[in-house]
Amino acid sequence: MTRDERYCRLDGEGVCAVFACAARVPELVYLGTPLAADEDLAAIALASARGRHESQADDPPTPSLLPLDGRGFLGTPALELLADGAAMAIDPVLRDTRAEPDAITFALADERAGIAINLRWRAVSPGVLVIETSLRNMGDAPVTIARLASLALPLPDWATYITRYAGRWSAEMRSETGVIGRGAWLNESRGGRTGFGGGNWLLAHEAETGVTRGQIIGLHLGWSGDHYSIVEGDADAQRRIQMGCRLDIGEIVLEPGTRFDAPPVHLGVSGEGRNGLRNAMTDHVRRHVLPDRADWPARRVHLNSWEALSFDMDEAKLKRLADDAAAIGIERFVVDDGWFGGRRDDRTSLGDWTISPDLFPAGLDPLIAHVEALGMDFGLWVEPEMVSPDSDLYRVHPDWCIHAPGAERPTQRGQLVLDLTRSEVSDHIFAALDALLSNHRIAYLKWDHNRDLFPRAMKGHAQVLAVYALIDRLRAAHPAVEIESCASGGGRIDYAMLSGCHRVWASDNNDAIERLRINAGWGQFLPLEVIGNHVGPSPNPVTGRRLSMDFRAKVAMFGHMGVEADPAAMSADERETLAAHIALYKEWRDVLHSGSCHWFDLGGDSLFGQIAIAADGGRALAIAARTDFADDFNAPRIRLPGLDADARYAVRLIEPWPDKARRYLPNGTRWRNGIAFGGAYLANDGLALPLTHPETAWLIGIERL
Ligand code: GLA
């Protein structure tokens, strides 16, 4: 077959995209799972071509990668520019298509308007493409960017459904699924951080797509500030998604000769439902997002002081907490908020990153030595981007916060945002953090961010870049220090933050029932080892719910496990149960944190289950959990996806068993010792487990025979 210059294709393992590249602007002809190597691309284009109808432009809109105003496309344009305060007419044309083995770059230009646009699609990981867009001002006058989509994606015709996420504090990543109808759904974020869910994570799929079956596309904008997503459909049943960073008008003015790089979009594809997409995205995160993932040591069990002591801390109290932590198997002791300056509540002292002499008369080192003597390493909470009006820093430098000149400075949690775009400010904060890390043996920083950015004072975009630069600088100076991204829980979780971090704080809500829901959202895009997942107190401080230690501890194992409670406030039985699960986590974390992870297809929203399978397929650990009281006594069978259908496995129910449910388990001795099954049987018929009672969880250990 002769090469058809009108089309080009980008092939990655598990993913293929076909473009029409002889058109005026590049068009998407196909996006999905791989096509045959000799597929006739012209035939594919022909199969999807639609005729013109009466109420369209004579040259009707195409599935363009850069839909714009001005030629009869009536949806939201992907690029809007202003010159002298007025909308510019822009009509770029494809000038060059450069194909490399793993990438295609489309170079477009509008010589009259003086702009050049590059759209670069790269096949980066199995099933995952990364799309990058940039704009250059080739003219001789400044150009203001009102909007530049990082990606404008014409959806394949099968993708008629959208699943989006929304959230709030302590209820991150609630998903919602619906038909993509006519008109546009817009999500804009304006808080200067990613937000508790929001539009930067999307799934486009078939009606039938489920956990294990169906075609699906996953999209994520790798950006930690304001962003927008538009999902729109029109009367011609054309559906599109657009994602980009949200800009204030006048915020980005491109001077002649300069370039603006839009943040990347990570696009995953699977023909095997949400589990397939989950594993493509999480594998991508491990390979290309997380810093040096291959060299990570085992994820240590944390104890964080926040829900144990809150602000009621000093050296003696923390030493006592460390003793109790070590006794249950904790490996990292993290001192949360309250250790610095005059910080005795959340209204004061952010910016004063010096160890409070009232609490630590001899500094932090005696505590760190104590923690290390107990066999743990030491972590510390910081919130570097912020300043309290009641702080020494603010008293000396009241102009260092982002503010509208001459206007009031509205606070949130009693704090303001430092202007890190000013080098003297970021140098000062770097020096403070650098001193802490240089002078003390600190293995880990919990990097928090507890307010939205307002007013933005035209700094929303630049501040995000300044935060990345600060984290990069600190990591270069202290490469061994691990960093967690926290923002009032999961308020700033995205692949851009994760490229400088080792963990995210998924939510301030440690209620295990809520965590099953919250982590299900994050788990679509993040591997378990980065999802900070702690056992909280009972009653839970956020929800007030009381849950058994057995249930809390089992749920906390499926992530990066930790404890956010005071062991001294637990009963001896609870401590013993918790210690047993910490020991189990250590035994299984190489499985949880290495291979694939698959949800069970259980239907309803009160049964949760997933199985983590080691990369070599030799071991697997599953959890099956019920949150409410079942209608039927016999819960659905637990069918285990992801195993090798032809292999045989020893399956056992790992103790400790849930208190109430254990009474309903027949053949307990057999389940304790292990029963052998074929992989096909486990996937197709599965296990009958007692899952009738609320707040019941079972751990299933699986070993290949
Ligand atoms: C935020 C974090 C919490 C805790 C507090 C401390 O709310 O999300 O985990 O660190 O700040 O003030």
pLDDT in tens, 575-588: 999 999 999 999 99
Place of tokens 């919990």: 446
- pLDDT score, position 1: 39
Site to probe by mutation for ligand 1, drawn from 306, 310, 485, 564 as the one with most ligand atoms within 8 Å of Cβ, is: 306
- pLDDT score, position 678: 98
The whole-angstrom separation of Cα 625 and Cα 520 is: 13
Beta carbons of 305 and 313 less than 8 angstroms apart: yes
Beta carbons of 151 and 142 less than 8 angstroms apart: no
Token reading at 393: 């820093």
Strand pairing category for 143-148 and 253-254: antiparallel
Instruction: List active site positions.
Output: 448, 508
Site to probe by mutation for ligand 1, drawn from 307, 450, 504 as the one with most ligand atoms within 8 Å of Cβ, is: 450
The whole-angstrom separation of Cα 249 and Cα 460 is: 11
- The ligand 1 atom at the shortest distance from the C-alpha of residue 489 is 8
Token reading at 553: 């501890």
Per-residue DSSP letter, 636: P
- The ligand 1 atom at the shortest distance from the C-alpha of residue 487 is 8
Per-residue DSSP letter, 537: -
Place of tokens 């404890």: 563
**Preceding peptide of 291 cis, ω within 30°:** no
SS3 content of the chain, % helix, strand, coil (to 5): 25, 30, 45
The whole-angstrom separation of Cα 108 and Cα 135 is: 10
- pLDDT score, position 4: 83
Using a 10 angstrom Cβ sphere, with 0-12 exposed, 13-18 middle and 19 or more buried, the burial of residue 625 is buried
CB neighbours of 598 closer than 8 A, spacing ≥ 6? Answer: 211, 212, 275, 278, 279, 610, 611, 613, 641, 642
Taking 50 as the pLDDT cut, the residues of the chain under it are 1-2
Token reading at 371: 């923690």
- How far away, in angstroms, is 449 Cα from ligand 1 center? 8
pTM greater than 0.95 (yes/no): yes
Report percent pLDDT > 70 for the chain: 100
Closest residue to atom 11 of ligand 1, CA basis:
488
Beta carbons of 686 and 700 less than 8 angstroms apart: no
- The ligand 1 atom at the shortest distance from the C-alpha of residue 336 is 10
Strand pairing category for 696-704 and 648-653: antiparallel
The whole-angstrom separation of Cα 584 and Cα 581 is: 5
- How far away, in angstroms, is 569 Cα from ligand 1 center? 20
- pLDDT score, position 614: 98
The residues lining ligand 1, judged by C-beta closer than 6 Å to any ligand atom, are: 306, 336-337, 346, 381, 448, 450, 486, 488-489, 505, 508
The whole-angstrom separation of Cα 64 and Cα 21 is: 10
The whole-angstrom separation of Cα 540 and Cα 537 is: 5
Place of tokens 């949800």: 599
- How far away, in angstroms, is 505 Cα from ligand 1 center? 9
For residue 539, count other CB atoms closer than 10 A to its CB: 12
The whole-angstrom separation of Cα 349 and Cα 257 is: 43
- How far away, in angstroms, is 337 Cα from ligand 1 center? 7
Closest residue to atom 8 of ligand 1, CA basis:
488
CB environment 489-521: b (16+ within 10 A), e (fewer): bbbbbbbbbbbbbbbbbbbbbbbbbbbbbbbbb
The whole-angstrom separation of Cα 510 and Cα 495 is: 23
Site to probe by mutation for ligand 1, drawn from 169, 381, 492 as the one with most ligand atoms within 8 Å of Cβ, is: 381
Beta carbons of 203 and 281 less than 8 angstroms apart: no
Place of tokens 């999961």: 490
The whole-angstrom separation of Cα 285 and Cα 222 is: 11
CB neighbours of 270 closer than 8 A, spacing ≥ 6? Answer: 14, 33, 127, 215, 216, 218, 276, 277, 280
Phi, psi of 633 (to 5 degrees): -65, -40
- How far away, in angstroms, is 308 Cα from ligand 1 center? 12
- How far away, in angstroms, is 132 Cα from ligand 1 center? 34
C-alpha 391, offset from chain centre: 33
pLDDT tens profile 423-437: 999 999 999 999 999
For residue 315, count other CB atoms closer than 10 A to its CB: 17
Q: Helix or strand or coil: residue 627?
A: coil
CB environment 208-244: b (16+ within 10 A), e (fewer): ebebbbbbbbbbbbbbbbbbbbbbbbeeeebbbbbbb
Token reading at 535: 């056992």
DSSP string, 199-229: GGEEEEE-TT--SSSB-EEEEEE--SS-EEE
Closest residue to atom 6 of ligand 1, CA basis:
337
- pLDDT score, position 237: 82
Phi, psi of 635 (to 5 degrees): -70, 160
- pLDDT score, position 102: 97
- pLDDT score, position 605: 79
